A and B are shown apart, each in its own frame.
Chain A
Amino acid sequence: MSKPIIATASLAGCFGCHMSVLDIDDRILTLIDLVEFHKSPIDDIKTFSKICDVGLIEGGCCNSENVETLREFRKNCKVLVSVGECAIMGGLPAMRNGIPVKDCLEEAYLHCPTVDPADRMIPNDPELPIILDKVYPCHEVVKIDAFLPGCPPSAELIWKALVALVEGKPLDLTYDLVKFD
């Protein structure tokens, strides 16, 4: 059997969950033996050229491009996993959800004390993704098959989840892996 193929993406996240993947230390070598990485910031492959077995999503959707990427992942991955608080709940970026998007943009680009007075404008280049009215958790946009909680999920949790997915076995989550305080 060929190696299972994994794709990853960071949407409205901080890359902390990706860093946590790297935190599995030297087991990354074992992982590379076990799986093949496809579209992912880890190997910088930018476009899907084949169907992947597992997609790992960090971050929720805060703009139109996030939605597009997430939909593309859904199309190209057999199993899609929300990794970490932001993908699952919106996380820190979702703190803006109670504030109208207009107020957010104006505060950030017009009124904030650190804005250069000579250069006050809300970015509007057509090439830029458009901000959504609020930050959405991934499972409200596409179907998500599994959730790995944490901020970030520990390396151990990600490792165990990946091994379980790759080997097709049930995931054995011990209490210490999902206890956060």
Chain B
Amino acid sequence: MPKQGIIKTILARHKKDKSRLIEIVRDVQSALGWVPPAAVAEIAEALNVSKVDVEGVATFYHFFSGAPAGRYAVYLNDNFVAGMKGRAEIAAAFEKEAKCRFGETTADGLIGLHATSCIGMNDQEPSAIINGVVFTKLTKAKVKQIVAAMKAGRDMARLVTTCGDGANQSKLVRAMVTNNIRKKGPVILAPFKPGEAIRRAVTWTPEDVIAEIKRSNLLGRGGAGFPTGLKWDFCVQSQADRHYVVCNADEGEPGTFKDRVILTEQAHLLFEGMAVAGYAVGAKEGILYLRAEYAYLKNHLEHVLEALRKKAIIGRNAGGKKGFIFDIEIKMGAGAYICGEESALLESAEGKRGEPRDRPPFPVTYGYLGYPTTVNNIETLCAAARILAKGAGWFKTLGTAKSAGTKLLSVSGDCRKPGVYEVEFGLSLQKLLEMVGGRDAQAVQVGGPSGTCVSRGQFERRIGFEDLPTGGSIIVIGPHRDMFDVVHNFMDFFIEESCGWCAPCRVGNSLLKRKLEKIMSGKGTIRDLSDLESWGRIIKTMSRCGLGQTSPNPILTTLQNFRHLYESKVRHDTDFVTEFDLKAAVHAASGVTGQKLTEAHHE
């Protein structure tokens, strides 16, 4: 059987290293189109781990499958904004052309249709990834072409005839993705001359570099807003013979895509930020954990790394400092929002299922492979590089007292100018809506599903850590949208992405969604609203990681800011409505046994 040969080759390629399990499984998936049980067994034996360990990885990630995913595997984004931009029509077109339904693969194994969570293309929906190639702004006509090309056995990359702007056109990318940079600011998107930051940093002591970052008041841009200087300080303080810098490029929060644009256009700034962090915390190695959805950027990023090595910005004698070594490796994810959570990311980078760890210990003391590690967002590291180049004092003149600097916003939804905006902190939603052409919005989802849904009456609220913190996802919701559809889509997302480890998150979110559906169908009561509130609070307080702790937010923040919508949906004449239907509930069993309901059963 040729299969055995393939798996042996793959295992050899990765030196039977179990920390490379994800890479091994990925190679099997792309060679065979799925991960068959026989492959699981063979990998387990070769790596000397249990079958369950391999199966655990092979079933955890979106882009691995336990059944043939199709020689052409279509992953169609299913977030709410895709829906706004006509996803349903596109999905129907795929089903019609491929003659197969979503969640299935054609009988001949040629085409598989799959839904997937946000792929970071909200500004150019509907979009899909097919065999690693990103297709944006899909139309019915394009779907027809794509499926015809599949049937003709063509390479998907050949269908990219027009590339997007900037580095999307480079030979190494060749993607139809566009950057949609609408507003450049001075920190992230301004020109940056390689070396400006690291050459300066290495003339200082690591302590002084950390002190400068502390002075700048830079707060983490990944969502939690932890002070970056303090994080680096904690990391350095942890005694160990190795330290790591990890850049979080998982960008999975629905609606955010600004990291994609940084990776495309400003990767040199990011890598230099990683080098600065490496110098500060005493790390020799950095890891870029790149989400699988952005695999199309990998060759480009490798190329940028190579160029920086040649300029001695990273690598040996980095920044021109004799003896300072800092290099960067790219590790790929495999499709899982939870892997953006820093401890889940580390597990995944180590080749395991991306399940969050118990914290403490935090990554700064127990991180990658157990060594002290600073995990930072892409934008944070870029800002750190710029601070080294231009000074903490300069940085602090931007933004507000508690939120220094600028923020990249990924704007999508019902607005005329979706794309990336670098704005100073302190900008009001009203001003932002004017800028993006979304004045008539009824709501703005700030920070993605895990953030806050702000209603029209509160548009004077401001982006910043004092009021509306955000990782950067801004979804504009026009007046004609049904807010319940928005909330429902977001709950679907959390249910899909929960790692399943804690019951409140795994079970609770499904219960919340069912309750929401009850209310949407007109069978809810005031009591159901208070159940939503109290169950939501339980999930928030009883879950282990940030996913569960924020997953009820779509419901809780709309209950708060759009209470009238809920109140107009529920019945006020009774405090209990059951959805239970005895006749329907006995239907299956009476079909098997032939028993019938008697009169007594009909109340």
Binding site for B on A (CB under 8 A): 64, 67-68, 71, 100-102, 105-106, 122-126, 128, 130-134, 136, 140-143
Contact = CB atoms under 8 A, between A and B. Distances in A.
Interface string B573-600: 0011011101011111111111111101
Contacts of B588: 100-102, 133
Contact of A140 (B579, B589, B603): B579
A126 B599 CA distance: 13
Contact of A124 (B579, B580, B586, B595): B595
Interface residues of B, number: 24
B578 A128 contact: no
Contacts of B586: 64, 130-133
B368 to A, nearest CB: 30
A124 B597 contact: no
B193 interface: no
A67 B595 CA distance: 16
B601 interface: yes
| 3 closest residue pairs by CB, A with B | A143-B576, A124-B593, A131-B589
B222 to A, nearest CB: 32
B597 A142 contact: no
Nearest to A102: B592
A125 B594 CA distance: 9
A128 B595 CA distance: 8
Given A102-B588, A133-B585, A142 B595 contact: no
28 contacts: A64-B582, A64-B597, A67-B580, A67-B582, A67-B601, A71-B603, A100-B588, A101-B588, A101-B589, A102-B588, A102-B589, A102-B591, A124-B593, A125-B595, A126-B596, A128-B595, A130-B586, A130-B589, A130-B590, A130-B595, A131-B586, A132-B586, A132-B589, A133-B588, A136-B580, A142-B576, A143-B575, A143-B576
Interface of B: 575-576, 578-580, 582, 584-598, 600-601, 603
Given A68-B601, A143-B575, A133 B593 contact: no
A140 B597 contact: no
Given A132-B585, A133-B585, A133-B587, A122 B578 contact: no
With most chain A CB atoms within 10 A of its CB, the pick from B579, B588, B600 is B588
Contacts of A140: 578-580
A106 B593 CA distance: 11
B524 to A, nearest CB: 13
A50 to B, nearest CB: 21
A179 to B, nearest CB: 12
A131 B589 CA distance: 6
Contacts of B595: 124-126, 128, 130
